[in-house]
Amino acid sequence: MYRFNIIPVRHLTESEMDCISAKLVHQPMGDMLLAWCRYIRETASNPLEIKMIRIQKNDSFLGIGILTIIHKLPLSNLMPSASLGKLVQWGEDRFRIPPFLSIGILGIPLMHRPGLLTFAPVSTDEGALIYTEMARFLRKHRLGMHALCICTDPSFSADQWMKTAGLISQPFSCRAMLDYPYKSFEEYYATLSVSKRKDIRRTKNVLQRYAGQIELSTDFQTLAGEVTKLFSNTADSKGGFHLIEIGKRFFTELSRLEKCFPRLILVRQEHQLVGFFLIFQSADTLYLKSCGLDYDLSLKMRAYFNLYYAAMEYAVKHNLTKIDCGLTTNYFKESKINCQLTPVTYWIDFYHWFFLPVKMIRKIFPTLIS
């Protein structure tokens, strides 16, 4: 019923990208999706390729899938503990375990959003069927991948096929979305409880007490060094291993992403950068993409919270009615600013024999490996 054709994003012309983007305007990030994918491919710090999967039903061009394949991932780094990492290193030569992996992600890179985007809305059943057929297609062709991670749309119930086919469910953090249909920050402020309003006043007063200032900037090249340092500082504090790595080049060249309207919201104390948010916009939504903080100063200045309030004021000024606050386990986003949380789940299809014991363990003890 469905046919799939894989096209590297780098092979798409500007006119082809514009034509496809125009058909995706109703989808989250749709109008700037391909520009975003090309930018990630060109500025990521580790080797990867991003492919567009053309989805056809009979003779109709139905939509696209977005597949990112990250190469040369050290297997030992993906292990949940240092001892398992050492065991893998020992077994690389002895049992021909590959020292480096290629992992595929069917999803929008760095956004943890589903990688299936149709030009027109489809039913729940059809959406699940497309996911199913695309997963089968990728399992058959593999494209050099050792495993595939599929970020599914919660509105499409493809879970039953995923389970039947032996894929492993991996719950992730929740996505925090804020509906923001207000004409001013004061209008939003008036909808909050007395305790929440007091907290906002207290937070803004703390920033003033420390002579903190909020700025908006597009001077990416000048700020790239400071911003990258704070971003790395925050990423390191969270720990873990990042499949897609971004560094200074990502921040330096943001002006190329003009379709996304990138901006940096900054908190400064005199000439020192204390924290930042990278924001961009698509259709009626403001996206909060990256955050970096100087923890010595940001905690006492409550920079993180003031950055959120500044982003909300930016949304009002630009007639944006939704704010995507990204993934979170953060109590603040749900309880303090009234975000709605939606669970994000990845389904993992292991292609290499080395992963078979992992699949067996998960079947016996589903919560053992998280």
Domains of the chain, first to last? 2-173+344-364 (3.40.630), 181-320 (3.40.630.30)
As given in the structure block, the two tokens for residue 271 are 């000439």
CB-hemisphere CA count at 13 Å for 225? 2
pLDDT 10s per residue in the chain (370 long)?
899 999 999 999 999 999 999 999 999 899 999 999 999 999 999 999 999 999 999 889 999 999 999 998 876 666 555 565 666 666 666 666 666 889 999 999 999 999 999 999 999 889 888 988 999 999 999 999 999 999 987 777 677 777 777 788 888 888 899 999 999 999 999 999 899 999 999 999 999 999 999 999 999 999 999 999 999 988 877 665 678 999 999 999 999 999 899 999 999 999 899 999 999 999 999 999 999 999 889 999 999 999 999 999 999 999 999 999 988 866 666 667 888 888 888 888 988 877 766 665 555 544 444 4
For the chain, where are the alpha helices, taking DSSP H only?
14-23, 33-43, 82-94, 124-141, 159-164, 185-190, 194-209, 220-238, 248-252, 295-301, 303-317, 331-335, 356-364
- Tell me the torsion sign for CA atoms 324, 329, 334, 335: negative
Taking each continuous run of H as one helix and of E as one strand, the counts in the chain are 13, 14
> Exposed, middle or buried, 268 (CB in 10 Å: 0-12/13-18/19+)?
middle
C-alpha 121, offset from chain centre: 22
Contacts of 134 (CB under 8 A, 6+ apart): 2, 4, 53, 55, 65, 106, 116
**81-83-84 Cα angle (round to 5):** 70
As given in the structure block, the two tokens for residue 68 are 């990112």
As given in the structure block, the two tokens for residue 260 are 């996304």
According to the model, what pLDDT value does residue 171 have?
82
* pTM (predicted TM-score): 0.88
For residues 168 and 347, the answer to whether their CB atoms sit within 8 Å is yes
For residues 168 and 350, the answer to whether their CB atoms sit within 8 Å is yes
Count other C-beta atoms under 10 Å from residue 166's C-beta. 12
Shortest CA distance to 75 belongs to which of 91, 64, 63? 91
CB-hemisphere CA count at 13 Å for 264? 27
Contacts of 42 (CB under 8 A, 6+ apart): none
CB-hemisphere CA count at 13 Å for 222? 5
